[in-house]
Structure 1
Amino acid sequence: MMKPENHNRKTEGDINQTLARNTWMETQVDENTKSFLEEDARYFLHQSMSTPCLDVIKKSNQSSFFNLQGKPYLDFHGNNVHQVGYNQEELIENLIKQLHKLPFSPRRYTNKPAIKFAKKLASLTPSDLNRVLLTPNGSSAVGIALKLARAVTGKFKVVSFWDSFHGASLDAISVGGEAVFRDSMGPLMPGVERIPPPVTYRGIFEDNEDKCLEYLEYVFKKEGDIGAFIAETVRNTDVQTPSKSFWQKARALCNTHNVLLILDEIPIALGRTGYMFAFEHYGIEPDILCLGKGLGGGIFPQAAIVTRDKFNICQEISLGHYTHEKSPLGSVCGLTTIDIIEKEQLLKKVRRDELYMRSSLEALKIKYPLIGDIRGMGLLWGIELVTSKDTKEKAVDEAERIMYECLAEGLSFKVSAGNVLQLSPPLTISREDLDKALNILDRALLKISDQINNHQTIV
């Protein structure tokens, strides 16, 4: 039996269990597709945010994927793996070549692609961030980072933010701040101290991020045995961007209290924010950097941590003893992805696209009272919808209706925090496709706003 909707617990994906979802099935999905969706629902274990599925896709190319009937969806979600777009020819060619040479490297042996990949990652990061461990997924990269921090500091306690997301494994949800991932999970990893993120203090203390810093310093001093502070440099889900001052002060607090700073850039690195790494915006360095998602070029699951030379002290500890640790295939995908970003000068392109997106979305904000806030950098944007600009009450139902209107016209994105439309297209997206997506969004906002105006007014 379907649980009653709880708007306070809405996250991306809960839209899969609503009346609007039923309408989608009735009006947008043909019988052939329904039969596959029924098989999917029969054989896959159901879980929040994944099931039931919306459609069946059969191919992808550049900025779009296509369903069984050939309908294209511009992909402004992509699970953050599609920095270089889909079916990137050079990436596929290099992967095929490697498949024919060496598809797998057993433990205790290395291989040239893995060495080149680690060397490349070290060359991209500043100062002594030269030590790498490779792993198949972001959650395990976070796990490695937490284990390394314990080994280096001798302290097991860690500070993280409420509402943060660091992966879905048991250790990752232990330090994560989204309650939906902890439901029914019982006792989790001990020693986690969560604090409200900087965004908590916006609009209450005149955007006073220093309140968050005071809280952070208080916990560092009060506990006295904190080993690490883990955070997303920029929160990906609903696109929260702290100030440069915040991160510089937070970095200084970590230095003062001998706390390692772990920056989780799994979804936002590799050009998403206009720089190879988001921390470059803030003039800081992490002690441990977590990477993943787009690192495999949208083809192969590949993640990594990068840390300082002086932390190479775990020769007798297994930090990330994974079967596919030094994957030749993952390494080739990572190397090629970075090479494409550099050769095609995607960082410069993304910074140009940022200006275009900002002006276009701000114009929509002026046009529609439903939009309470526009946030973003590079090609990562959040459109926060509210029922009232005074109370800033979340427009949860409206966000869902807009999402389905856009899906019907071929624009896919996710809704985060219940009311934030998160737009995250490939870095390679053309201006023509950007305009197409913005026009679809404009029409959806107009339609839902007109429906609202017939019943109530946003004040």
Structure 2
Amino acid sequence: METNNLSIFNELESEVRSYCRSFPAIFNKAKGYKLWDVEGNEYIDFFSGAGALNYGHNDPKMKAKLVDYILNDGIAHSLDKATAAKAEFLEKFNNVILKPRNMEYKVMFPGPTGTNTVESALKLARKVTGRTDVISFTNGFHGMTIGSLSVTGNSFKRKGAGIPLQHVVTMPYDSFVNDELDTLEYLERFLEDNGSGVEIPAAMILETVQGEGGINAARFEWLQKVESICRRFGILLIVDDVQAGVGRTGTFFSFEKAGITPDIICLSKSIGGYGLPLALTLINPKYDIWEPGEHNGTFRGNNLAFVTATEALTYWETDSFEKSIQEKSDKITEFLVGLTVKYPQIKGTVRGRGFMQGIATEVDGLASDIAKAAFERGLIMETAGPEDEVFKLFPALTIDNEGLEKGFAIIEESIKSLVNEKEPVSS
């Protein structure tokens, strides 16, 4: 078989594949913020494994730790047995992340992916409260297994379940209708009124910035009010930080600047550091009422991921990394705002926070066309939103300014080509 022939995937891989349709190349090498295909073409990665590669590809320090661990016959698979690799991760996570933020949580390893941590969070919330319903929010995305799908808003993905998705009430996210309407006044009234048909739920689950749902960023005041409603009615607050966490929005946890304290936090994707599967469910200790073995999974003890995750936390030992994220985040915002001014034809609005930003365009199909044109010029970028109306920038947090500028140039070239190279409107 020719190494650059895509036919093998068409012939043997399921029709469910998706990203390879958007990025029709066979990739075989990656380093930092770059990938190369088998033909030697270079691509700048503004996708970062959908947020699983916040530290870029093949971080040298993580790679060295991983290779050394493997060559010394370190344990790879252990279920939930105690291992040295797990102990080192737990200690460093507690000392570097939790303690400096005055956070106290028990750490659960529910399985390897984001949907595993969400499933465990929903199950535990129901166990703690004895209630069955959960409140989720419009355009939320929480995973592809049945429980996670039940709290996901996307109708296309929900239909994939093949059965009714029950015991969930969907409420409007911040600014879902418009910026003026207080969606939480609506929610609170439903909880207060015995005639509303909405029972007090076990939990509310939300993303502070909705990734797949369109890079919708909730205002900090909105998040604070959600927390106060949860406290008033005895509802557990679950923050799904699978995509928005681990620095993606500027701070390690996406909710830090809002000053809220979730009862349960879901982490996956970049918590493994290197792209290796790992998920955590952080639980307020008073709610850690699991019976031993009540929730388990074969691959919840991924020691290779513990090794790279531990090394990844070194980035957070001082505040310099977080400061660099903020500085580069400001560059991203400035660039995107500039595009909406220079190219009014795209009818664009900037959304998101930190390294989780994009432009929503009112022009049907334009976001996808921009992403396609960018790929043809050597940049990998994804779309988001219920109608794929947002093109989103997800560079590695470790990308340098040169990489950012190269990516920016490709995006602007792609937009110019699609608006028929009209002269930019002066700002």
Taking structure 2 as the reference length, the TM-score comes to: 0.90
Q: Deviations over 1:362-385 (max 9, x none)?
A: 111110011420123211111111
Residues 167, 400 of structure 1: alpha-carbon distance in 2 compared, 3 angstrom cutoff: same
Whether the 8 Å CA contact 1:103–1:328 is kept in 2: the answer is yes
- Compute the displacement of 1:118 (Å): 2.7
User: Which residue pairs with 1:11 in the alignment?
Assistant: none
User: Which residue pairs with 2:392 in the alignment?
Assistant: 422
- 1:163 equivalenced with 2:131 (yes/no): no
Whether the 8 Å CA contact 1:85–1:428 is kept in 2: the answer is yes
- 1:54 equivalenced with 2:24 (yes/no): yes
Residues 209, 351 of structure 1: alpha-carbon distance in 2 compared, 3 angstrom cutoff: farther
- 1:132 equivalenced with 2:103 (yes/no): no
Q: 1:74 aligns with which of 44, 49, 54?
A: 44
Whether the 8 Å CA contact 2:203–2:237 is kept in 1: the answer is yes
Residues 412, 357 of structure 1: alpha-carbon distance in 2 compared, 3 angstrom cutoff: same
Which residue identity does 2:420 align to in structure 1?
A: D
Q: 2:88 aligns with which of 100, 116, 121?
A: 116
Which residue identity does 1:334 align to in structure 2?
A: A
Kindly tell me the number of residue pairs found equivalent between the two proteins: 409
Which residue identity does 2:66 align to in structure 1?
A: L
Q: Deviations over 1:235-283 (max 9, x none)?
A: 1132111111101111000000100000001011111111011110211
- Compute the displacement of 1:310 (Å): 0.7
Whether the 8 Å CA contact 2:220–2:257 is kept in 1: the answer is yes
Structure 1: gaps spanning 5 or more residues: 1-30, 387-394, 454-459
Q: Percent identity?
A: 26
Q: Deviations over 1:199-257 (max 9, x none)?
A: 3122xxxx1252x1023213433433310000111111321111111011110000001
**Where in structure 2 are the equivalents of 1:178-257 lying within 5 Å?**
178-202=154-178, 207-210=179-182, 212-221=183-192, 222=196, 223-237=198-212, 238-257=214-233
Moved more, 421-430 or 72-81: 72-81
Which residue identity does 2:224 align to in structure 1?
A: Q
Alpha-carbon distance between aligned partners in 1 of 2:239 and 2:176, rounded to the nearest angstrom: 20
Moved more, 329-338 or 283-292: 329-338
Whether the 8 Å CA contact 1:271–1:346 is kept in 2: the answer is no
Moved more, 107-116 or 117-126: 117-126
Taking structure 1 as the reference length, the TM-score comes to: 0.84
Whether the 8 Å CA contact 1:289–1:306 is kept in 2: the answer is yes
Whether the 8 Å CA contact 1:33–1:55 is kept in 2: the answer is no
Aligned-CA RMSD value: 2.2
Alpha-carbon distance between aligned partners in 1 of 2:163 and 2:278, rounded to the nearest angstrom: 29
Whether the 8 Å CA contact 1:402–1:445 is kept in 2: the answer is yes
Alpha-carbon distance between aligned partners in 2 of 1:152 and 1:119, rounded to the nearest angstrom: 27
Moved more, 44-53 or 240-249: 44-53
User: Which residue pairs with 1:64 in the alignment?
Assistant: 34
SS of aligned partner of 1:200: coil
- 1:410 equivalenced with 2:375 (yes/no): no
SS of aligned partner of 2:281: strand
- Compute the displacement of 1:75 (Å): 0.8
User: Which residue pairs with 1:354 in the alignment?
Assistant: 329
Structure 2: gaps spanning 5 or more residues: none
Alpha-carbon distance between aligned partners in 1 of 2:127 and 2:353, rounded to the nearest angstrom: 35
Residues 71, 105 of structure 1: alpha-carbon distance in 2 compared, 3 angstrom cutoff: closer
- Compute the displacement of 1:443 (Å): 1.1
Which residue identity does 2:180 align to in structure 1?
A: N
Moved more, 103-112 or 432-441: 103-112
User: Which residue pairs with 1:431 in the alignment?
Assistant: 401
Q: 2:290 aligns with which of 304, 309, 314?
A: 314
Alpha-carbon distance between aligned partners in 1 of 2:355 and 2:79, rounded to the nearest angstrom: 38
Which residue identity does 2:338 align to in structure 1?
A: A
Which residue identity does 1:85 align to in structure 2?
A: G
Whether the 8 Å CA contact 1:104–1:324 is kept in 2: the answer is no
Alpha-carbon distance between aligned partners in 2 of 1:48 and 1:97, rounded to the nearest angstrom: 34
Alpha-carbon distance between aligned partners in 1 of 2:404 and 2:310, rounded to the nearest angstrom: 27
- 1:279 equivalenced with 2:255 (yes/no): yes
Whether the 8 Å CA contact 2:118–2:266 is kept in 1: the answer is yes
Residues 216, 116 of structure 1: alpha-carbon distance in 2 compared, 3 angstrom cutoff: farther
